[in-house]
Amino acid sequence: MITLNYKNVDEKVIGKEHGLNIEKEFSTYKDIIEKIIKDLNQRKDKKGQWLQWMNLGYNEETVWYVKEFAAMVKGQFDNILVLGIGGSALGGIAVTEALLKPYWNLLTPEQRNGMPRIFFLDNIDPDQISGLLEVIDLKRTLVNVITKSGSTAETMSQYMIIKDLMEQQLGDSYRKNIVATTDQQTGILRQLANQEGYKTFVVPDDVGGRFSVFSAVGLLPFALVGIDIEDMMNGVKDMDLALKNTDIHNNIAAQNALIHYLMDTKKGKNLSVMMPYSSRLKYISDWYVQLWAESLGKEEDSNGNKVNCGPTPIKALGATDQHSQIQLYNEGPNDKVINFIRVAEFDKTVEIPHIFDYTGIGYLGGKTINQLINAEADSTRVALLDYKRPTVTITLPRVNAFSVAQLLYMLEVQTAIAGELYNINTFNQPGVEQAKNYTYALMGRAGYEESAKALTEKMTKQ
C-alpha cells in the first residue's frame, strides 16, 4: 500500500500560526467525512452524478476487450500515436512515463520486447506536428484518437491531418491504422468512426476526461505498449476498498483532502505543490495539476453562491527543482502545502564510484544515487520544516503498475472529497467549455456566429 505521512502539517510540529490541530480537526470533521464517503459510494451508480470513474477498477469487460485488441495487433505497428488533449492525454502520458523503461522510444525493438514506441500529440503546435511526422512512418503507426466529446478542435484537427496523410500513403487500408476512443453514441468522432469503419472503444457515460485514466482512454494505449493493465486494476480495486473506510483516521484520501481544504480556508495556503522525487513520476504532477485545477477551481458553489474557490496546483520535481523552486518555498510567502512523493525502493541501484578524494565531492564515492535522492528528499522536508512550511509525504513502495494505479486513484478520490468539502460541482468545467466555445466561434464553426461577432468586438477593443 502507498502511505501518507501528514505529521508536518500538525501545529505540534510547525506551530500554531501555520499548522493545524490535526487531532481536533479530524474529530470535528469525522462525521462530515463519513457522510461524504458514504454519499459518494451511494451516488456512484446513479446516472448523471459523474461518479462512474469509481467503478472503472471493476470493469473486467473493458480490460478483456482492450487486451484482446492489443494481442491482435501485436507486432503489426512500430509506433502508437495518441491524439488527445487534457483528460484524454494526461493520464496516458503520466502512466507510460512512469511504467515504461526510461527513454522508451530510443530503445531498440529488442530492448522494448518487440513493443512499439509511443507518442502523445497533446498540442497543436505546427512545428511539433511537422517534426513528429518526420520521426514516424505513418504506414507503421497505429493512431488512437481519443476525445469524449468527439469534437474538440485540437484533437479533431490533428486527426484530420493524420487521416488525410494516411489515406494518401495507404489507400483504403488506412482504416486499420486508426482506432477511436469516444462516447458510445454521440459526437462527430463516433459518427465518423461508424462511417469509416474504425475499431472503437468507449469513454463511458458519467466519466469526465480527467477521471478517465482507468477507462479505455488509458487502458488501450497502456496495453498496446505492454503495460500490465490487470495489475493496474488490482491496484485500483485495492485502493478503492481501503478508501471505502469512512473513518478519517484510516482513509488517506480523506486526510489529504481535509488537510488541503483547511490549509486553504483557515490558513490561507491555497497553493498545492506536487513534488515527486522520481523522474518516472514527473508527469503524475501534470496529471494532478489538471485534476485538481479543473475539478476544484469553480466560480459558484452548489447553492449558486459566488465563491471563486480552488487551491492552485503547482508541479515540481525532486531533486531538480530544489535548484529552482525551493528557495521560494522556504523563504517566500508561506502559502503552500507541499506534497512530496517518495519511492521507497527504486528498480535499479546506481553506485557512485570512489574516484576522487576532494573534500567537496569525495564523500559521495561509495554511496548510491538511490541514497542521494532520498537524502535530498529528507533534507528538503526538514529545511521546509525549519521554515514552518507544511508538507505531506506520499510514499510508494516501488514504481510499478499496482502502486501507480493506487496513487492515481487515491488522488481522484481525494479530489472528489475536497470538492464536497468546498461544496462545489467537482465534475463540470464551465471555464474550459467557455474557451472551447470561443475557439469554435473564432474558427468559423456553424452555430457560433453570434459569439464570433461579440468576440471580435471584444478583441478589437483590447
Question: Which residues are near ligand PA5 by CB under 6 A?
Answer: 85-88, 147-149, 152, 155, 208-210, 294, 429, 432
List the beta strands (DSSP E) in 233-382.
271-276, 298-300, 306-309, 312-315, 336-343
All three cell numbers of 281: 513520476
Non-local CB neighbours of 286 within 8 Å, separated by 6+ positions: 90, 93, 94, 315
Least spacing, CB of residue 430 vs ligand PA5, in Å: 11
Query: Pairing relation of β-strands 306-309 and 298-300?
Result: antiparallel
Determine whether 72 is exposed, middle or buried from the number of CB atoms within 10 Å of its CB (0-12, 13-18, 19+). exposed
Q: Which of 97, 294, 412, 420 is catalytic?
A: 294
Least spacing, CB of residue 448 vs ligand PA5, in Å: 17
- The secondary structure of 113-175 as a DSSP string is TTPPEEEEE-S--HHHHHHHHHHS-GGGEEEEEEESSS--HHHHHHHHHHHHHHHHHHGGGGG
Least spacing, CB of residue 194 vs ligand PA5, in Å: 18
Report the alpha-carbon angle 75-79-83, nearest 5.
Answer: 130
Concerning whether 436 is annotated as a catalytic residue, the answer is yes
Report the alpha-carbon angle 133-128-111, nearest 5.
Answer: 60
Least spacing, CB of residue 57 vs ligand PA5, in Å: 19
Specify the DSSP element, H or E, that contains 5. strand 3-5
Q: Which of 47, 306, 323, 461 is catalytic?
A: 323
| Cβ atoms 418, 264 nearer than 8 A | no
Concerning whether 294 is annotated as a catalytic residue, the answer is yes
Report the alpha-carbon angle 231-426-418, nearest 5.
Answer: 80
Least spacing, CB of residue 209 vs ligand PA5, in Å: 2
Active-site residue set: 294, 323, 436
